[in-house]
Structure 1
Amino acid sequence: MTQEDVGPVAADALDRVTWALRQAEMAVQALKEQRLRPLGMAAAHYSLLIRVHADPGLTGAELARRLNVTPQAVASLVARLEDRGQLERRPHPRHRHVQELHLTDAGRDTLRLADAVVAEIERQITEKLGPESTTRLTALLHQAADAVRET
């Protein structure tokens, strides 16, 4: 038996849960990109805005950790959204070299429009799944995330 007979991955590699999760995420992200584009937004902009909305006052480093991206990627996105008037930096009350991130009124308006787009994508998915499967899938995804965090 040669190494070529064994192959670089198991025969069931494309049937794994992790692959199905990745395929679903890629499909959702592609649809978000397509539907947010008319608003002049990318899915990454939406993710950043909604995270800052949920946790106002985050620093760039904290935001990078929560979004699982590099600090450089966050800095670039923050600069872009700040230039658009959707995000502002404010000095941290106790640490003069740290800046907190906050949505502006324009940022909240943009997030409201973008969230309506994302909610429609959610509706499309949940309508196809039905209420029982939606509830079950959500619970299973939380369990999968917990299982990974426990390792």
Structure 2
Amino acid sequence: MNEQSATTGYLAWQFSQVMGSRLEKELRVLDLTLAQHTALMHIARSPGISSADAARRTGVTAQSMGAAVNGLVDRGMLERRPHPTNRRVLCLHITDDGRHLTERAQAVVKNVNDAALSVLSPTEQATAHSLLYRLVAHLNPDALPPSA
């Protein structure tokens, strides 16, 4: 497949696969999976979110998100609290230990990101980020931070 025949979607998927694999490998040092890191990030941004809502926002299956959340609750990184009006829903909140782990994980993610993008100039990196951000904002805006 040459540069002209690869679709943008295919290239984005390939990039996503490689980045996901690299992130999984590096996050293992913190005893985190990529799904757990994603859960921590979204719950830190949206305290009280349900596991199902976190799964929808991130494009992770409900089963994968449930397993990630269960592991984080067992480790004391997250806690479940009753929903104020719906008895069937549990709200997720990050603990102080979870917040500390999230900060450490963000440093790992930054290192992986910096290494992967080192082939691009700073201007190219900013352009790639801007274009990907616009595409995600168009296709899955809930995946982005609420304040963005």
The answer, yes or no, to whether TM exceeds 0.5 is yes
Which residue pairs with 2:92 in the alignment?
A: 101
Name the amino acid aligned to 1:70: T
Deviation of 1:122 after TM superposition, in Å, equals 2.0
1:18 equivalenced with 2:9 (yes/no)? yes
Q: Is the 8 A contact 1:13 1:19 kept in 2?
A: no
The structure 1 residue matched to 2:49, chosen from 58, 66, 71, is 58
Which residue pairs with 1:123 in the alignment?
A: 114
User: Which structure is richer in relative contact order (CA contacts within 8 A, separation 6 or more)?
Assistant: 2
- The more displaced of 127-136 and 54-63 is 127-136
Sort the Cα spacing of 1:124 and 1:87 in 2 relative to 1 into closer, same or farther, 3 A: same
* Identity across the alignment (%): 32
Deviation of 1:144 after TM superposition, in Å, equals 3.3
Q: Deviations over 1:1-47 (max 9, x none)?
A: xxxxxxxxxx9996111111011111111111111112111111111
Q: Partners of 2:42 and 2:79 in 1: how far apart?
A: 14
Q: Partners of 1:58 and 1:138 in 2: how far apart?
A: 27
Aligned Cα root-mean-square deviation (Å): 2.3
Q: Partners of 1:141 and 1:129 in 2: how far apart?
A: 15
Size of the aligned set, in residue pairs, is: 140
Q: Partners of 1:18 and 1:66 in 2: how far apart?
A: 20
Sort the Cα spacing of 1:13 and 1:63 in 2 relative to 1 into closer, same or farther, 3 A: farther
Rg comparison, structure with higher value: 1
SS of equivalent to 2:88: coil
Which residue pairs with 1:30 in the alignment?
A: 21
Name the amino acid aligned to 1:87: L
Name the amino acid aligned to 2:90: Q
Deviation of 1:146 after TM superposition, in Å, equals 5.3
1:135 equivalenced with 2:126 (yes/no)? yes
Structure 1: runs of 5 or more not aligned:
1-10
Q: Normalising by structure 2, what TM-score?
A: 0.83
